[in-house]
Each structure stands twice: as structure tokens, then as C-alpha cells.
Structure 1
Amino acid sequence: MSKFVPIALAMLGAAGAVSAQSQDQQPTPPSAEKPALGPDGKVVPQVLVNGGRPSDMEERRMSTAGKQVYGREELDRNGDTNLGDVLKRLPGVTIGGGRPGRGGDVRMRGLGSGYTQVLLNGERPPAGFSMESISPDQVERIEVMRGPIAEHSTRAIAGTINIILREGYQQRDIQVKTGDTIEQGRHSPNVSVTLPGKTGNLTYTISGMLNITRQHDSTFTHNEDVRDDGFITKDQEVHDESSGTSKNVHFTPRFSWKFDSGDTLNFQPFLMHSSRHGGLNSLLDQGTGIIAPEYVTADQQSHNTSTFLRGFGNWVHKLQGAAKLDVKFGFGLGKSDADSLRNQYDANGNLSDRFTDTDKTRDHSVNTGGKYSSPLGGGHLLAAGWDLEASHREQTKVSLDKNGNPQFSDSGDNLTADTRRAAVFAQDEWDITPQWGVYMGARWEGIRTSSDRSAGKVSNTSSVFSPLLHAVYRIPGFQKDQLRASLTRSYKSPNVQDLIALPFLSRLNSATRPDRIGNPDLKPELATGLDFAYEHYLGRSGIVSIGGFVRDIDNLIRRELSLQQTDLGQRWVSTPGNIGHARTKGIELEAKFQLAEIMGEGAPNLDFRSNYSRFWSSVDGIPGPDNRLDQQPKQTANLGMDYRFKPIPLTLGASYNWTPAIRVQTSLTQVVETSRKRVVDMYGLWKFDGRTQLRVSVANLLADDATGTNTVDANGLTSYATTLNPTYRQVTIRLETKF
């Protein structure tokens, strides 16, 4: 990556020189030649009045550090009931997990879990919080940043997705949305309400959502172990049937008080409570082999509850000139309880074993931060600030067999974990000329994690310094064209679970289903990145862009598999570790436009959206050709269209999301494969009037099966695990009303 640095700097310098020269050569605008004069003969100053926040496309265009903005138009388009379905259609964004409609972690540029930074109002959400569980009705806009900026944490190797919750100043009407999602004949009703208001200096928006989700899933797994001499030691078919009902409540008020001095105080709490009760029935059919099956039939009942409360606040104090001080404060509380009872039976129906598992986790956090910003002469906007955060976790995990014996040494003992994070940053956005803008920033961030458990005290300390450089060049004579380039330093820190997690025990333990433990000696992954893009803007909300990126990653974290002697005997165990260096690169294409803005009057009212990404990656020390970064596909693509009928108030739309099959050589001994993913969503929207509309949508129309294969070749044995997960169509009906 070091060879890219002088090239990038030379390109930026050359572009700046051309921009300055073009600025000198451009003719003076007529308005500058003949300024407006008042009755007294003096020049009348011209004032530009903007009625609110710039449009999504204008904000993207004017941002020096590349940022894509998706507001209410994109959030409302398909009538999605969870944010994950909105995110999966954005350029370069994918949702992890094998089944459409079942959620998963949010990913950018195909990179696996943890490489994408997801923020809620610019802050990291509390541990255990599922971002895609947020209702789109509670979100004002989504900001997608390909490269890190100093103001936010640089734990963003793949990029950052910032979820901005509802803001009061744009809401005028009471909005009520009621709906029902039907899957396999099971109904999942939901209702959301947004209530804005203003009393004196207080502006507020109260948003809430309630839903009940009923789901049923089937999983078919074929496990086979074969010795090097071809002898089959295990051949099993496992059929799991699971079902569950979840109840979720989200409450997101926002309050803003404007003082007479011009200062503003904002506060926005976020409360989420969920409860789920589920059941599982399992049938294990033993074929050939010498290994006795652990059970023949099994049943399991589980109950999970979780409550998260997060508060965001900031005070904006205006100083002399246009300078201001923005002081942030926040807190987080998390409580989750899970318990399950699993009974396993032999071929005669006799109880062979019983497992009782409970997990109680409590999280607390407080944070503060601030940013001082001031415009300086020569087009500079300087900002500097700090972030401080402290979090505490307490966890008690108990796992007992039918005789009441613990399944691991720490069973029943309390684990405490403390994390302290501190950061300072400075940045300067410099408009060198109307064509040429540069963002220069730097951020230092340190993290210390410590824990206390029966096995002893462990701690992990790391710090990262991240210099950042972004530039935009608006091509003279081509008002709608511009170039972007970035050179950045980012990182991925180990999460608490990877550092100090209590053991996770796998039923049917094998090389393809190992136990999982943590590693307190992990170091953060460090990445040097180069991003570039060409953007051509079309009409009011259209764009055609082509971009690319390179990331050099050191201290890559991978899970390593080993056969270990444990409290339960010899078992396969997965442990995270730093294995070395990797590189990923890719190209990203995007096109979106309204056909009428290109073809003029008389053109169909058709909106078109598409994006395509191609990724390459390699991990040193692992043989190719599939030595890719974990879970990264080679390609992703999205295609969407919306058609508005002229004679009747009807809009029809459809989108297609595609990810090809993935095959990754994760280590010298393991290969993981997943099937292609094709998701087709369609909707119809009928507007009765300006305040009431009915939306009908069908998600996952193709309902393709999701399949996968995990192969481990170690210790003279090759283990295969092949899974098949059926997926299902979802039909949603929503009535949306404004008062």
C-alpha cells in the first residue's frame, strides 16, 4: 500500500493545480461584474435563503468527504417493516445470514462481521443491540460513508453507516401506519405512530412502534466424517423444526429546546423491549458409521427477553462569529435474559440427557464528547473535539446436564468486563477554490478492555492513530461532474466476545460445529485504504458514478480450529487469533435517475436504480484460489424500478438483489461455501388522497433455498456439514394515514 501514497498525493496536487489555473482563467460571472445597487448608490448584499436541510443528492454532492444520503423517499419506497430490508438495497451493502427476511449483521463491500461501523445518531449502539430491528418509520435518514472521518470513530475498514433517528423540524402531521405481514399463513401485525408538536421554545417528535412476529423455520443438515482411508466414521441426517413468537416495542421521542440566545439543547432517548418464546424439535437419523449418535430425538423450549435504553443529547452553543461548541452526552442500559431447556431421547424414547442453560447479561455505559468548529479565512472550516466512553458488563452463564453437573468450569460464575475508550480528533475542510476542496483530519483512539472471572483477570489495551485525507475536484466547464479521492487509516478492534467470552458449547460438537472461546491477546486489525470515484449528477435526484477502493490489512483476525481436552473431554474448539496480512480491492458502479429528467416531457414516470460491485481479496499464508476474506462474495448487484401511473393514483415497484455463491478457504484445513442469494421484492401503492394510502408488498418472491457446505480436513479425518434452509415469501399490507 505504501506505493499508492505518493501516487495519490501527486494526483491530488496535480488536480489542485489544474483547479487553481482553471479558476484564474474562468470569466467573471455577470452578477459579479454588475452588483445590485441601492437608492443610495451602495452595493446591496446578496443573501441566499435556504428553507431547510439540503436535499439528499445535494448533500452528497457538496460533501468533501464522500457521503451518500438516503432520506424518507428511500425509506418509504417499499414499505419495509425493518431497516435491514432497506439497507440491503443500498450500493455495496449486504446483510449477513443465510435466510432472507431473518436479519443478520450489516456489511459493506462484502466484508464480514465487524468491518462495517454502524452508528445510531453518530454513536455506537449498546452491546447486543440489533440495528436492522429498527422500524424505518423511526428513521429520518441514512448516511453511508465509504471512508472514515475524524469526527466518527475510524473503526470502519469497510465503511460507516450512520442511522439518524427522526428529527422534529421536518414533521408536520401525525402519522399512523398499521400493517400485517403474512408468512406461511402466520400473521405478524405491526403499528407505528409519529406525533410531532411544538410548545413555545420546545419542539418535539414522539415516535413509537409495536409489532408481533410469528415465524417458523426448517433446517436439514447432513454430517459426514470420512477417514483418509475412505472409511466413514459418521453419517447423520439432522432435521430441525423451530418456531417462535416475538413481541417488540420501540419508543423514540425527540425533544429540542431553543434558547433566546440561539443555543439549542436536544435530547433523544431510544427504548427497545423484545420478548421471544420459541420451540425446537430435532430428529437425528444415524446411517453408517461407528460413532454412536448423541440422541435420536430432541425437544427444546427457550425464552428470551431484552431491554435497551439509550439516551443521546447535545447542547449547541453559538460563539463569536460563526463558531460554535457542540457538547454531546449519552448513556446506555442493557438487560437481557435467556433460558432454555433441552431434552434428548434415545431410540426407545427414554430420556438420555437434559441440558439447562441460562444467561443473564447486564450492560451499562456513559459517554460524552464535543466538537468546536469555526470558519477561518481562506475557505477553511476547522473543527476539533474529543470522545470519552466507559462501559461495564456483568454476565452469568449457567449450563447444567441432567445430573446438575456444570458443562464448563466457569458455569455459574460472574464475569465482569470493563471497557474504556478515549479519542481526540481534529479536522479541516478547506475549499481551496470553487472547484477544489480538501478534507484533512487525524484521530487518535485508545481502547482498554479488562475482565475478572474465575480463571483470572485479563486485560487488553490498544490504540490507533489515523491520518485522513479526502479530496473532491469539481471539473471546470462540467458543472455536474466531479472526482473524489481518499487516503485513510482505519481499524477493526476485537469485540468483547472475542476477547473474554465465556465458552459457547455446541451440541453435536464436531470439526464443523465447534465450541467457541475468546482470546485476550488479540490485536486490532489495521488497514490503509485508498478510495476514488467519478460522479456525474443527473437532474434533481439522479447520479451515475464509478468508484474503486483498495484496503491493505495487517493483524487479520481469523478463527482457528483445534482439538482440545476440556472439562467435557476431547472437543473441537474455535479460537480467534491474529494470523497476518490480507488485501482487498473492488470497483463499485451506481446509476439512479428519473426517466422524465433525461428524456423530457412525455416520458414515462419511471424511476430507475441500479448498482453493481466487484470484489477481490487474498489472505497471505493460505493457498488460493479461494483464499478470500471471510464471507466476502465476488460480486453483488441491485436493480430497482418504480412506475407511477398518470391516470390513476397507483405506483408499482420492484427490486432485485443478487449475491452469487461464495467459496472461501478460511484456513489450511477449512473451506466454507454458501449458495447464491436472489431476492425479488415487489410493491403496489394506491393513494386515496394526500393523507391516506394503501401499500401491498411481496418480499422474497422467489423463495430460493439457502444452502451451505463446511468442510474440515484435519487429523486424518475429513468432516462435511451440508445444510439446507428453505426460505419463504412474505406478503405485507399497510395502511398509512396522516392527520
Structure 2
Amino acid sequence: MNRLLLLTCLAVPVAAGAAGQAVLPADVAVPQPAVAPVPQITVSGARANETEQRRNATASKMIFGREELDRNGDSNVGEILKRLPGVTMGGPPGRGGGGVRMRGMGNGYTQMLVNGERPPAGFSLESLAPDQVERIEIMRGPVAEHSTQAIAGTINIVLREGYQQKDIQLKVADSVEAGQHSPSLSLTMPGKQGALTWLLNAGLSGNRQQEQGASLYQDSTPDGSLVRDQTISSHTDRSSRGLQLMPRLSYRFANGDTVNFQPFLFANRSEFNTSAVLTQRAGPSTPEYALAVSNGSASATFLRGFGNWLHKLDDGAKLDVKFGFGGGRSRNDTRRNQYDADGALNGVFVDQDSSRNAGASTGGKYTRSMGKGHQLAAGWDLEALHRTQDALALRDGQSRFGQSGDNVSADTRRLAGYIQDEWDITAQWGVYLGLRWEGIRTAATSGARDIRNTSAVWSPVLHTVWRIPGHDKDQLRASLTQSYRAPQVNDLIAAPSFSEPNSPTRPDRSGNPDLKPELAQGIDLAYEHYIGKSGIVSVSGFVRQIDDLMRRALTTYQANGQTRYLSTPSNVGSARTSGIELEAKMQLADLLPNAPSMDVRANYSRFWSSVDGIPGPDNRIDGQAKQTANVGADYRMKKLPLTLGGSYNWTPAVLVQVSPTERASTGVKRQFDAYGLWKFSQNTQLRVGANNLRNEDYLAGRVVATDTGFESASSTARTYTTWSARLEMKL
């Protein structure tokens, strides 16, 4: 410090002053000492954006944050997922119910996680509000850290976090469909007290919908003559109420350790009323009914807790211990009164189904740096689940079937261990190598039956990225993986599900305790070119070879002196699927310097598949479309605080040869959504949207070949445009 003061005095001319002070002439040059330049250091506390995280990851991962989640003002997460690359949603537009599909592959092939954990049984994405989600992560290939039950890929829903939240956020919304209102309220409130920080997320919602449709049932002889020709026209009014609470607590200890805990409470109640009119134009006998009136209720409550303890060790190592617990219950009650053509009551049907789920899990991850850009990790997962289910089926107060009222109880234990090595060998070449072992044991009782099923799978995975020298915006990816699909508990030991009336196209459903998991070997290749700050153009391809494919087969059985049709799953052989996926998103100004302020995005996927042992040409993976595409754009006006945008989602008709005797089809899906965003101020904005502007009818069908000919069932469901408005405020 003294030397610094001396240098400063020498560098400043001395003026005449008090006695004893030296006075230097003005024209005398004072030598300036040489001072070493201070290097510029830039410190940024900003979190890497989604595109940067994707670019830097060794294993391919797409990340979609709040901008994508808020863009269209969607009412549920399912509506957001349908616009993402390679993702399609089953069921009618705006209704869901058909599950999430990556690469066109149905339920069970796509792994769904919430905060990296399996969601509770019965949890539905259609019930999760986007306001409760922080980001969505999509991994096309399995990684050792998560379960490798991801033949098609993994979608991880990360619930709201608090690392950026400063303001209280309040969102008030209403959506209107066919004149019926569905209001919602969302509140996000951060806080801090000493070493404790928290973020409270709460949501209330009400939903009212109506459903209209018609189903055509026809039986014909081998020569095409109609034996039965029926149409059932139905109308349903449905209402529901939901509550979601997700507080997040984080405590930082003096030694740097951190404990995080995030419980999740979801409760939903719904009621419905349905009237169905049966018209028979041809048939061997009097139809079972002319009018059926049904009413019922459903309730579901889930409580799930996620937490982790992060402990820092010597030499930069750290231990992350996870813990979780959960429980839930659901109940469905339906009463159906049937009337003949004269209006006389000819049957009262009562169906009740209730289930309870409870579980706990723990896991951990030890991470150690092995040098710059080289990280080794190992960990474990342990999960225990218990489930009970009761189903009751009565007609006029009497049990319809011997199995009615049986209690089903199941216990599932899942144990896994893994090790992974992520290493940037050079500045251009990075490698991820992982190995995971996972075992699942299911023990159940159903009536007088004891059921046991055990499976264990080794899953080696290899991911690599090559950042092309001299082209810092271009990189190549490759993956070689093994993944699997485990039988779901319902497919192993579910209480029989009864269909009335029973037929080959409306069979009862049951489980198979001898199911084995499907095993898949896969190769993924991709080229990525990055544009500007958040733009990307990518081309990727994949191949999956699947063994022990699970499919449902149609059989018959005897119950109370009558022959009934039954759908039961079994392992049928091998299958192969492949595809090409194209993606592009960017700001238009990144391509054209004088372009308007507009973001554009598009993706297209083409899929092929075949199943051994089933005749072609449509022997595809069940429900897999041949193609799917999305396009969208957002335009920010310069002279007005207004942003306009829209997106178009297209999935062509699907025709699948499910078995040698059964074909299933769904119609084309074309969905156009649009929105407008007006910013009143930095803290207040209004978002107005319209989903499913085309509101085309949704078509589905099934044809089964029987010993006496053919039976077909085709349905037409009306869809609706949903108009929404949401006021978003920061308080």
C-alpha cells in the first residue's frame, strides 16, 4: 500500500504549497512507472440457456424452459408436449388420454419422470398445469443415471424451482369450450429467512367439458353380408375440480451442505352424466337396450415428496443422496340404467373400482472429478411400492362374474446400481460411458391366485460427441445403447376389466404373470448446427431392435355359462423400428440481417417399423404413425407491446396390423393453435389463445376376424376449439 501511494505521488505534479514542500516546474516531465496491464475478468451469474446446455451435454438432451411452457398459454402439459420434436399425443386433440409417444412408440416405450422419479400410479399429464413446471427435458437415448426403461426415450418433467424467482407471481385464467368455462388460479411465492429459502407454488382449477360421438358396430359373414348393424350415439357432460400444492424448501448449512425438499399434493374430483341411444338396423335379435343413462364420479388424491441432501467432500467430490415417499388413492363409481324401446327399465349396472398406492424410494450419486472435463459418478436407486385394488361389477344387485369383488394386492421392489464416466478427452471429443443393472420383483395376490414375476437387466450405454475442428458451431453425436420395457403392474396382475356388451372389438381385459421385459439394442446418430444465441438445425436418425415384444392377444373364456372375449398380453417375438428426425429453430434475424423480429421453428419425423410373426404390410409397432410434423412462429411488434404466434401440428392416419386377426386405425390429426401476448408493463401482461382452431372430428376403428366372419367397430368423436385468456402479474 505504501509503495502504491509513493507511485501515485510521483505521477502527480506537485504545486506550490506550504513551507518545506518541493515545487516542480510545470514543464518538467516526470517519468511514469511501468504498470502491468490488469487482465479483464468477466463474472456472470447467469445460468446457461437451454440451447447452451444442450450443446455442452455429452449425452443428447433437449431442454425446454419457461419461454416454451408459457408460449401458448396451454391448460395442461400434454398440449405443450405435442409441439416438441418427435413427440406425439394419443387421443383426440385437446383431450389426450392416449399417452405420450416419442418416435411414435406408445405407452411403456416412452419413460415419463417427474423430478427424475417415477410419478405415482394413476398420475396423468393432462392434470398437471404448466405453471407448476420449471422445464421439460427430453433424452432420446437412455443414460445410466436414470432407469433405462426408455426404448423410445425419456421425458423428465422438472417442477418449479427457485433459483431465479424474486417476485410473487399471480396468474388468473379462464378457458371457454363450447360455451363452458374452466377457470384457474396460480400463485408462486418465494421467500427467504436466513439459510432457509422457499418457493410456494399453488394452483386451483375447475374444468367443464362436453363430449359427443358415435360408434358404428358391424358384424359380417366372410362374403360381406351384414349380420349386425348398430350405431350408438352418446353425449357426456363432465365437470371437475383440482388442487395442486408444490412448496419447495432449501436449507444451506454452514459447512456448505444443502438439503432440498419438495412435496407435491394433487387432488381432483369429477362427475359425469352420459346418455347413449342405440339404433339397430340389422341384427339377429332385439338389441340389448334402446337408451342407456349413466352417471358417475371419480376422485384421485396423490401426495408425493422429493428431497435430496448434497454433501461436499474433499478434492471436489460430492455425495447427493435422494429420498422420496408417496401415496395416493383413487375411486371410480358408475351407475348405468338401461331401457328398452318401450321405455321400460331392463337392467341396472353398478361398477366400482378403487385403488390405493403407497411407496418409498431412495438413491444416491457419488461424483468425483478426475481432472479437467473428466467426471466419474456412481450411484444406486431403491424403490418399494404397494398397491391394492378392488373392482365390483353388479347387474340388478347380483355379481356379474365370479371375479367381481376380488381384492388385488401387489408389491413391487426395484433395485438398481450404476456407474458412469463422462470425459472430454479433447476440446473436440467428449465421451459418456455408463453401465446400469436394474432388477424388478413383483409379488401379488388376486383372489386365490399368487403371482410372482422377477426380471433383471444389464444396460450398457455409450454416448459420444465430436465438435468439428474449425467449425465451432457444428458437432456430431453417436450413441450405442441397450434399454428395456418392463411389464406394467396392470399387465401382470390387474383385476379383470369387464366390457358391456362384450364382443371381439370390446373384450374384457386381464393380465399375464408370465410376461418378460422387452429388450432393445439401439444406435443413434445426429448432426447439429447452432445458429446465433438459441438457434439450431439438426438431423438425427435411430434404429431399435426389440426382442420379446409384448402384444395383447384375443381369446375366449367361459363365465356364468356364456362365452366372453378376453384381451391378454403376451410376448410375441421381435420387432425393428427406425426413423429420421429433422429439427430447426432460430431467430429470423440470424439468417437475414434486416428481417423482422420473429422466431421460427419446425420439426419433422419419419418412422418405419415391422413386427415378426404378423403379416404385413402394416405390421408396425402398435400405434406408431409413419410421420409427424410441427411448424410455428412468433412475431414481436416493434411499435406495440404485442407478440403474436401460432403453431400447426400434423399426424397422418395410422393403420396397424395388431395381430394376424386384428387391425386398428386412427384418423389424421391436424391441430392449429394461435396466441397473442400484450405487455401492459414489465410486471403485467395478458395472454389470449385459441387451441384446436380446425376442430376436426377424431376417427378411430378396429376390425377383428372371427370364426364366423368379421366384426368392426368405428368411432367418431367431435372436438372443440378452446379459447383462453390469462392475466399474469408480478407483485
Matched, 1:536 2:534: no
Give, in whole Å, the separation in 2 of the partners of 1:496 and 1:242. Answer: 30
Deviation at 1:104, TM superposition (A): 3.6
Deviation at 1:229, TM superposition (A): 4.2
Specify every segment of 5 or more residues in structure 1 that has no aligned partner in the other structure, as ranges.
1-38
Deviates more, 1:369-378 or 1:187-196: 369-378
The answer as to whether partners of 1:539 and 1:598 remain within 8 angstroms in 2 is no
Give, in whole Å, the separation in 2 of the partners of 1:622 and 1:688. Answer: 60
Question: Structure 2 matches for 1:11-160, cutoff 5 A?
Answer: 49-160=43-154
Question: Structure 2 matches for 1:368-379, cutoff 5 A?
Answer: 368-377=362-371, 379=373
Deviates more, 1:723-732 or 1:285-294: 285-294
Number of the residue aligned with 2:602: 610
Give, in whole Å, the separation in 1 of the partners of 2:652 and 2:286. Answer: 37
Deviations 1:456-512 (A, max 9, x none): 100110011000000000000000000000000001111010000011111121111
Deviations 1:686-709 (A, max 9, x none): 100101111110100000111122
Matched, 1:184 2:178: yes
Number of the residue aligned with 2:692: 700
What amino acid is the match of 2:206? Answer: I
The answer as to whether partners of 2:518 and 2:546 remain within 8 angstroms in 1 is yes
Matching residue within 461, 469, 478 for 2:462: 469
What amino acid is the match of 2:677? Answer: L
Matching residue within 630, 647, 653 for 1:655: 647
Give, in whole Å, the separation in 1 of the partners of 2:696 and 2:672. Answer: 10
The answer as to whether partners of 2:234 and 2:277 remain within 8 angstroms in 1 is yes
Give, in whole Å, the separation in 2 of the partners of 1:254 and 1:377. Answer: 34
Change (3 A) 1:50 1:490: farther
Deviates more, 1:591-600 or 1:113-122: 591-600
Give, in whole Å, the separation in 2 of the partners of 1:494 and 1:677. Answer: 29
Give, in whole Å, the separation in 2 of the partners of 1:523 and 1:214. Answer: 41
Give, in whole Å, the separation in 1 of the partners of 2:373 and 2:596. Answer: 43
Change (3 A) 1:563 1:654: same
Number of the residue aligned with 2:574: 581
- TM-score normalised by length of structure 2: 0.94
Deviates more, 1:352-361 or 1:674-683: 352-361
The answer as to whether partners of 2:60 and 2:477 remain within 8 angstroms in 1 is yes
What amino acid is the match of 2:139? Answer: M
What amino acid is the match of 2:666? Answer: T
Deviation at 1:566, TM superposition (A): 2.4
Question: Structure 2 matches for 1:706-721, cutoff 5 A?
Answer: 706-721=698-713
Matching residue within 424, 431, 443 for 2:417: 424
Matching residue within 425, 443, 451 for 2:436: 443
Matching residue within 331, 334, 340 for 1:337: 331
Change (3 A) 1:426 1:317: same
Partner of 1:169: helix, strand, or coil? coil
Give, in whole Å, the separation in 2 of the partners of 1:567 and 1:692. Answer: 65
Deviation at 1:568, TM superposition (A): 6.1
Number of the residue aligned with 1:687: 679
Partner of 2:610: helix, strand, or coil? strand
Give, in whole Å, the separation in 1 of the partners of 2:577 and 2:262. Answer: 38
Deviation at 1:49, TM superposition (A): 4.0
Number of the residue aligned with 1:271: 265
Question: Structure 2 matches for 1:516-595, cutoff 5 A?
Answer: 516-567=509-560, 569-595=562-588
Matched, 1:391 2:385: yes
Deviation at 1:257, TM superposition (A): 0.5
The answer as to whether partners of 2:390 and 2:495 remain within 8 angstroms in 1 is no
Deviation at 1:321, TM superposition (A): 1.9
What amino acid is the match of 1:265? Answer: V
The answer as to whether partners of 2:402 and 2:559 remain within 8 angstroms in 1 is no
Partner of 1:137: helix, strand, or coil? helix
Change (3 A) 1:519 1:48: farther
Number of the residue aligned with 1:401: 395
Deviates more, 1:720-729 or 1:585-594: 720-729
Number of the residue aligned with 2:669: 677
The answer as to whether partners of 1:233 and 1:291 remain within 8 angstroms in 2 is no
What amino acid is the match of 1:376? Answer: M
What amino acid is the match of 2:667? Answer: S
Change (3 A) 1:571 1:44: farther
Give, in whole Å, the separation in 2 of the partners of 1:264 and 1:378. Answer: 25
Matched, 1:665 2:657: yes
Deviations 1:352-409 (A, max 9, x none): 111111112110000000000001136420000000000000111111110x221222
Change (3 A) 1:378 1:683: closer
The answer as to whether partners of 2:96 and 2:126 remain within 8 angstroms in 1 is no
The structure with the largest alpha-carbon Rg is 2
Deviations 1:533-564 (A, max 9, x none): 00000001100000000000000000001222
Give, in whole Å, the separation in 1 of the partners of 2:460 and 2:431. Answer: 14
Give, in whole Å, the separation in 2 of the partners of 1:717 and 1:350. Answer: 34
Change (3 A) 1:40 1:143: farther
The answer as to whether partners of 1:605 and 1:645 remain within 8 angstroms in 2 is yes
Deviation at 1:41, TM superposition (A): 11
Question: Structure 2 matches for 1:635-654, cutoff 5 A?
Answer: 635-654=627-646
Deviation at 1:295, TM superposition (A): 1.1
Deviation at 1:268, TM superposition (A): 0.3
Deviation at 1:80, TM superposition (A): 1.0
What amino acid is the match of 1:498? Answer: D
Specify every segment of 5 or more residues in structure 2 that has no aligned partner in the other structure, as ranges.
1-32
Deviates more, 1:223-232 or 1:180-189: 223-232
Matched, 1:621 2:609: no
The answer as to whether partners of 2:629 and 2:649 remain within 8 angstroms in 1 is yes
Number of the residue aligned with 2:589: 596
Deviations 1:237-274 (A, max 9, x none): 11111111010111111011111111100000010000
Change (3 A) 1:344 1:704: same
Number of the residue aligned with 2:239: 245
Query: Between Structure 1 and Structure 2, how many residues are aligned?
Result: 699
What amino acid is the match of 2:459? Answer: S
Number of the residue aligned with 1:28: none
Change (3 A) 1:666 1:103: closer
Q: In percent, how many aligned pairs have the same letter?
A: 57
The answer as to whether partners of 2:299 and 2:330 remain within 8 angstroms in 1 is yes
The answer as to whether partners of 1:393 and 1:418 remain within 8 angstroms in 2 is yes
The answer as to whether partners of 1:84 and 1:103 remain within 8 angstroms in 2 is no
The answer as to whether partners of 1:60 and 1:69 remain within 8 angstroms in 2 is yes
- TM-score normalised by length of structure 1: 0.93
Deviation at 1:102, TM superposition (A): 4.0
Change (3 A) 1:411 1:197: same
Partner of 2:78: helix, strand, or coil? helix
Partner of 2:398: helix, strand, or coil? coil
Change (3 A) 1:379 1:102: closer
The answer as to whether partners of 2:446 and 2:493 remain within 8 angstroms in 1 is no
Deviation at 1:43, TM superposition (A): 12
What amino acid is the match of 2:359? Answer: S
